Amino acid sequence: MEPTVPAAARPVRVLLVGREGCHLCDTARATIERVTAELGVAYEERSIDEDPELREAYAEQIPVTFVDGRQHDYWRVDEARLRAALAVPPPA
């Protein structure tokens, strides 16, 4: 049995940009948490309320999902599409 890498040590492949009190963000977060946990992939979340640059760029699109640094989805997270994106190895 191979040892598992703690989540904190895994490179972050998925970034969720959202805000507190956003029902679409809550739904996206649940999907991302489920998929990343099943696949052993780390994810991170940032709030547009804490980052003026993110707010300027994405205020009308939250939640916004990035995979490997590239914008993947906004408003909704398609679980099958996220799984397909994460099946491809991250760029070197």
Give residue 5's pLDDT band: very low, low, confident or very high (50, 70, 90): very low
The structural domains of the chain, ordered by start, are: 10-87 (3.40.30.10)
Q: Is the peptide bond before 63 cis (omega within 30 degrees of 0)?
A: yes
**For residue 81, what are the contacts with CB-CB under 8 A and spacing of at least 6?**
72, 73
pLDDT at residue 1 is higher than 80: no
Q: Which pLDDT tens digit goes with each residue over 40-67? A: 999 999 999 999 999 999 999 999 999 9
Q: SS3 breakdown of the chain: % helix, strand, coil, rounded to 5?
A: 40, 25, 35
The average confidence (pLDDT) of the chain is 89
